[in-house]
């Protein structure tokens, strides 16, 4: 039995900074990782996909350069170079994270799979074939989530892709069918369309991104149609079959009628499951919900004394920045005696389609459901000077404001640099700046942000 002050399970975007912070504070800390340092974000998520999105955007710009008076008669997608660049960036980020761990005093990195024996003891089946029990007064779980594979007839007989395995493709798919019209499916769909794939996206709901306002879904659907992507809503997959030519036949219930689509590849992007099944939580007081996500209070404490859960494994918004903020909450509370809470914190996010979708705070639908007396400010990007000048006129700016207090309740930006524009409004919300103050503020011309003046002038 080896004793530590703290054990951190999972070297993701909360686990690594948390382990380093505790070790720097003098805690003897063990960081246990079964696979790769950096978690989903660096290895299978944000870092590789955004590198690939950059390549896909360059292809889009080359294909649409004539409108700017630049004639590019032909271009070629060198997929091997795209993937090699992606992999090099992932390696750079991962090795940087690993170097930070290795130079931290009081921190021991252990590669292996962890399983709880009780609330304070973890058994590790190490990757080098050794076995050991570790104990600590504080244990932190940051094991993340993995792609959810639905139980569909024939799925085990096809070579389907996930958001992880698609990153290992050697060639651009001829026709990629994507099951799931969420953020992962949409980003991959547009990306591979620009690389040259035919794309079909299947979404069970009546619209893409069902948690967004209707106007957001309508605009994104129109953008995808313009990009030559076939989006089928009210679509449920019934069966997969492999054909003699290695193509895949997909039987679909489409708005109550049976139809089929033939494709070369299938990407399953229908959600993610928490990685809790192998943790041995049944040996502890830690409780999970019906989907396997660890239940925590507003301070990220589980039902087991001094056991915490951070990041995707606890459910809620599955974003890297939320995982990182979880780390801040825990360290502030444990090391500084604060009472920092995850309750009611702002949740910004950006979907890296092109144009981007950036959102913060409350949607119009949510404001309506809460019975708030609200106003909506909205302008199309085709009326934004910077967007016209750069030929990036798809999308819109939208904000929901409280009629009485004039505070901004939420915003959605679909546009080039949509996430950056959204962040300006997030800062305004954090600083309690009213929409009228933004309406009459001076912004540098001709930034996208300057059109925030015009956005709030749209309120009668």
Task: In whole angstroms, give the CA distance from residue 31 to residue 108.
Answer: 6
271 is annotated as contributing to ligand binding: yes
Classify each residue of 424-444 as buried b or exposed e, where b means 16 or more C-beta atoms within 10 Å of its C-beta. bbbebbeeebebeebbeeeee
User: What is residue 164's DSSP assignment?
Assistant: T
Active site residue 445: yes
295 is annotated as contributing to ligand binding: no
Q: C-alpha angle 439/423/295, rounded to 5°? A: 130
Phi, psi (deg, nearest 5) at residue 378: -155, 135
180 is annotated as contributing to ligand binding: yes
Work out the number of other CB atoms within 10 angstroms of the CB of residue 411. 28
12 is annotated as contributing to ligand binding: no
Task: In whole angstroms, give the CA distance from residue 270 to residue 204.
Answer: 10
69 is annotated as contributing to ligand binding: no
Going from the C-alpha of 332 to that of each of 35, 105, 122, 268, the distances in angstroms are 28, 20, 25, 38
Task: In whole angstroms, give the CA distance from residue 176 to residue 313.
Answer: 29
Nearest in space to 161 (alpha carbons), one of 40, 261, 269: 269
183 is annotated as contributing to ligand binding: yes
Q: Is residue 292 classed as helix, strand or coil in its secondary structure? A: coil
100 is annotated as contributing to ligand binding: no
Phi, psi (deg, nearest 5) at residue 188: -65, -40
287 is annotated as contributing to ligand binding: no
Residues 451, 384 contacting (CB under 8 angstroms): yes
Q: 184: part of which helix (H) or strand (E)?
A: helix 183-195
185 is annotated as contributing to ligand binding: yes
Q: Is residue 76 classed as helix, strand or coil in its secondary structure? A: coil
Catalytic residue among 265, 306, 321, 445: 445
182 is annotated as contributing to ligand binding: yes
Strands 307-309 vs 131-141: parallel, antiparallel or unpaired = parallel
Q: So which residues are the catalytic ones?
A: 445
Binding residues for NAD(+): 180-187, 203, 271
Binding residues: 50, 180-187, 203, 271, 312
Binding residues for FAD: 50, 312
């Amino acid at each position: 039995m080896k004793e530590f002050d703290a054990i951190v399970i999972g070297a993701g975007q909360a686990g690594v900074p948390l382990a380093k912070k505790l070790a720097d504070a003098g805690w003897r800390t063990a960081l246990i990782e079964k696979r790769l340092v950096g978690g989903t974000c660096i290895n299978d998520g944000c870092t590789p996909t955004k590198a690939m999105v950059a390549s896909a955007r360059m292809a889009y710009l080359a294909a649409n350069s004539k409108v700017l008076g630049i004639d590019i008669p032909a271009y070629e997608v060198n997929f091997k170079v795209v993937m090699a660049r992606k992999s090099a960036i992932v390696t750079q980020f991962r090795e940087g994270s690993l170097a930070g761990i290795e130079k931290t005093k009081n921190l021991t990195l252990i590669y292996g799979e962890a399983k709880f024996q009780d609330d304070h003891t973890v058994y590790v089946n190490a990757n080098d074939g050794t076995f050991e029990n570790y104990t600590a007064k504080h244990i932190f779980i940051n094991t993340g989530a993995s792609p959810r594979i639905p139980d569909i007839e024939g799925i085990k007989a096809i070579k389907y892709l996930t958001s992880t395995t698609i990153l290992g493709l050697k060639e651009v798919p001829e026709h990629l069918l994507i099951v799931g019209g969420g953020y992962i499916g949409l980003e991959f769909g547009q990306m591979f369309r620009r690389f040259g794939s035919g794309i079909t996206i299947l979404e069970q709901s009546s619209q893409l991104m069902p948690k967004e306002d209707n106007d957001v879904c309508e605009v994104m659907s129109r953008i995808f149609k313009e990009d030559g992507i076939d989006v089928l809503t009210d679509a449920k997959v019934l069966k997969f079959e492999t054909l003699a030519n290695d193509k895949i036949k997909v039987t679909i219930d489409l708005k109550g009628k049976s139809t089929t689509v033939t494709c070369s590849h299938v990407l399953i992007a229908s959600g993610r499951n928490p990685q809790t099944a192998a943790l041995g939580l049944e040996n502890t007081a830690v409780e999970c919900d019906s989907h396997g996500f660890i239940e925590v209070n507003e301070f990220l404490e589980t039902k087991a004394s001094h056991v915490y859960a951070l990041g995707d494994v606890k459910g809620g918004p599955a974003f890297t920045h939320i995982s990182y903020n979880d780390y801040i909450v825990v360290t502030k509370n444990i090391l500084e005696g604060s009472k920092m809470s995850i309750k009611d914190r702002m949740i910004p996010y950006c979907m890296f389609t092109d144009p981007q979708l950036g959102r913060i705070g409350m949607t119009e639908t949510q404001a309506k459901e809460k019975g708030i007396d609200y106003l909506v400010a909205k302008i199309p990007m085709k009326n934004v000077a910077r967007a016209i000048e750069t030929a990036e006129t798809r999308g819109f700016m939208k904000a929901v404001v409280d009629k009485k207090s004039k505070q901004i309740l939420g915003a959605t930006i679909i546009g080039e640099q949509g996430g950056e524009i959204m962040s300006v409004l997030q800062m305004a919300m954090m600083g309690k700046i009213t929409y009228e103050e933004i309406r009459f503020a001076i912004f540098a011309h001709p930034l996208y942000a300057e059109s925030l003046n015009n956005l709030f002038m749209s309120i009668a």
